[in-house]
Amino acid sequence: MEVLVKKGGMIELPNSVLAELGLSEGKRLFLNVKDGEILIKPAKNAAERLAGSMAMDDVDLIDEIVQSEDWL
């Protein structure tokens, strides 16, 4: 899929891509450059990163822990 790089380096993703990835304005993306190519994928939130590192699958529980005062 071809997109245009706009002023300031902005790239506008087609609505079909946004919908397929569940993205909307303000969502964070992970960008990586490798071998002259750009890989862009949705960034994982803190709960998803913790779930992966702890081999847990209850992302809602982990998200609740991260957002609680006790986590700090």
The pLDDT > 90 percentage for the chain reads 33
In the chain the domains, ranked by start, together with CATH numbers, are: 7-71 (2.10.260)
- Average pLDDT of the chain is 79
- CA dist list (Å): 38 to 34, 46, 50, 59, 62: 7, 23, 26, 28, 31
pLDDT digits (tens, 9 = 90+) for 14-45: 999 999 988 898 888 888 899 999 998 888 76
